[in-house]
Homo-oligomer: A and B are copies of this chain.
Amino acid sequence: MAQDRAPTRIQRKNRAAILDAALEVFSAHGFRGATVDQIAVQAGLSKPNLLYYFPSKEAMHAALLEGLLDTWLDPLRDLDPAGEPMDEILAYVRRKLQMSREFPRESRLFANELVQGAPRIHDALSRDLKALVDEKVTILEGWMAQGRIARVHPYHLIFSIWSLTQHYSDFDVQVRAVLDTEDPFDGASDFIETLYRRLLSPP
């Protein structure tokens, strides 16, 4: 890494292993709660070796967050203004819920950051996130004006989708403490779909 050469296979593999281990540990304990030692053990490398690939603990965390926001917003980016409104929104909800199910660690990493005031990604939120949401809200407003979906506050509609879907990954322990047997996502999927059908069906 010291040189600006293209990384070798081993370097790529180690970097990926470190980032995966870091995701595991940061998402479970938060930035301060995580230790480089834990990450090293999880990655199967020594602590100084981690700091050979990344200049600091902070840098590992930053590398994770950097890639994350983009990926995280992909489901919303795919909302198609040319599609059938109800189908588009329900498809977005499904993509978002599936993301929570498949990538709970990423969701919790993000949640950890947000609940503590997003010190490291505040700028990206008010720039990239806001721009994307504003754009998609315009689409939603168009659909509402045409009477193709019911009229509700479009920003809160989007917040509700985030909140309902991520709840099952971020607060997973709580959900499982109450629903001790069943896979929470199965019931959640039907419930949330019904919810948006009833909320948004044109009057």
Contacts and interface: CB of A to CB of B under 8 A. Distances in A.
Interface size class of A (residues with CB under 8 A): 35 or more
A190 to B, nearest CB: 7
Interface in A172-201: 173-175, 177-180, 187-188, 190-192, 194-195, 198-199
A155 B187 contact: yes
Contact of A130 (B157, B171, B180): B180
A193 B200 CA distance: 14
Nearest to A168: B159
B115 A178 contact: no
Contacts of A31: 33
Interface of A: 28-33, 108, 111-112, 114-118, 122, 125-126, 129-130, 133-134, 150, 152-153, 155-157, 159-160, 162-164, 167-168, 170-171, 173-175, 177-180, 187-188, 190-192, 194-195, 198-199
